[in-house]
A and B are shown apart, each in its own frame.
Chain A
């Protein structure tokens, strides 16, 4: 009889339920994971990534599951452990996380993004690049505010890049500069990207007049196939020579785009856009979610990051729209300032917001293709901003 009680007692002690009762923080994180799953599944907030991130959060916070070991990664950072230790002692999510840590997944996601992106609107209106630059304002505003709030330089840089509204870039930079903040930064970045249709319109309306919003833009010139093929090659050479730290991101983005445009590797383009992108998204989202271990995620810093992320998005929108207004004045009213907000990357959601706001002001307005220029310029702009911060702090 005693032995049965002992066995039951031992089973209870070994079970995750017992551990849950001893550490309430895991329970809180399970609730957080369920809220994120609700937002992804019911509210459709960036579901392709948020569902995976949320489930990774859930798995990593189930006591006893042993899928992710933050102490192993601490060892990698301080040099007492290597990837061999991770492969030997790590759980499933530890092994998947190697791809994040090595910067493989964000780069492969960029390969798919490149294969899906048409740079035609940017090539037909190269001034869009200016709007893509101005919309990086939020990166640096959030960086300064993060320093004010007491974050170190590398941490502040990782928080600032949320303003680039580009998930893979944020993950890429954070894994190199402040891996302990990865979970909070990734969740903030993807959540705010999903909230762009709510965050941007009030700022866009507050900063522009009705007359400016009603501006109809001239039709874009057609871009030849040769121009589209030469573009990724030129951008790779130029950007990587200028900021070598951008090589993994810009290199993969432009390789994907070359697959798309050259017309002789349709199979590769299709794989990069679909199968590869989907596989990497699963690995990236679950392993990033796994970093949200209760003891490290439930801190005041997470709340600060969430607040700074929102400010970063707002400042980036302000930067894009303000430069749009300046360009409106300089071109004699030929550029609708609303397309400036699309410079925050978040392809194509930010461009859609410009289109919707433009049509609200003038139902015959079609800004989508015009906004795609700054939108894809923002992807390049945020990669350049990340390259600069990486060069500064790594």
Chain B
């Protein structure tokens, strides 16, 4: 065939294999993308359908919440921690407050997540 060198396959065959190989990589990862989207859609749906239930069931437990049970004076609520130990989170919040020259109780931290 065209352009046969020392190799046991021709350049044309190599080109064909390459196009097929790249197409398979794309196809596999596109299918994976679709699966991930379906998975996250299903989970979000599950979470949304759980939410109204918890709201409707909420009055009883929420009716008697322990107001400011463990909340420090001036606290803006609880910060969500993702893979961050409490001690590290406390240090991060203190450093941010110090850098901004603001008292900690005037700042609101929503979440702290470790970037890996």
Contacts and interface: CB of A to CB of B under 8 A. Distances in A.
A256 to B, nearest CB: 14
Contacts of A152: 7-9
A115 B8 CA distance: 40
Contact of A133 (B10, B18, B25, B35): B25
A222 B40 CA distance: 11
Given A243-B28, A384-B29, A392-B17, A368 B115 contact: yes
Nearest to A136: B25
B26 A133 contact: yes
A349 interface: no
A162 interface: no
Given A139-B21, A227-B40, A151 B33 contact: no
Contacts of B24: 243, 384, 388
Instruction: State which size class the interface on B falls in.
Output: 35 or more
Given A129-B30, A150-B5, A118 B18 contact: no
Contacts of A196: none
Interface string A374-394: 000100110011001100100
Contacts of B39: 227, 230-231, 234
Interface in B31-90: 31-33, 35-37, 39-40, 43, 47, 82
Contacts of A235: 32
Contact of B32 (A129, A143, A148, A230): A129
B25 A238 contact: no
Given A133-B26, A148-B5, A153-B7, A126 B33 contact: yes
A153 B5 CA distance: 12
A144 B20 CA distance: 13
Contact of A147 (B14, B37, B40): B14
Given A384-B25, A384-B29, A153 B15 contact: no
A123 interface: yes
A147 B13 CA distance: 10
A380 B40 CA distance: 19
B116 interface: yes
Interface string B100-116: 00000000000100011
Contacts of B17: 140, 143, 392
B9 A153 contact: yes
A295 to B, nearest CB: 21
Given A224-B47, A239-B28, A143 B14 contact: yes
Contacts of B37: 126
Contacts of A227: 39-40, 43
A369 interface: yes
Given A123-B40, A392-B17, A239 B7 contact: no
Contact of A388 (B25, B43, B47, B116): B25
Contacts of A143: 14, 17-18, 21
Interface of B: 3, 5-11, 14-15, 17-22, 24-26, 28-33, 35-37, 39-40, 43, 47, 82, 111, 115-116
27 contacts: A123-B36, A123-B40, A126-B33, A126-B36, A129-B30, A129-B32, A130-B30, A130-B33, A133-B25, A133-B30, A134-B26, A140-B22, A144-B14, A144-B18, A148-B3, A148-B14, A152-B9, A156-B7, A156-B9, A156-B14, A222-B111, A227-B43, A243-B24, A381-B25, A384-B24, A384-B25, A384-B29
- Nearest first, the 6 A-B pairs at minimum CB distance are A140-B18, A150-B6, A147-B14, A129-B29, A126-B36, A126-B33
Given A133-B25, A147-B5, A150-B6, 6 more contacts: A123-B36, A123-B40, A126-B40, A137-B22, A152-B9, A235-B32
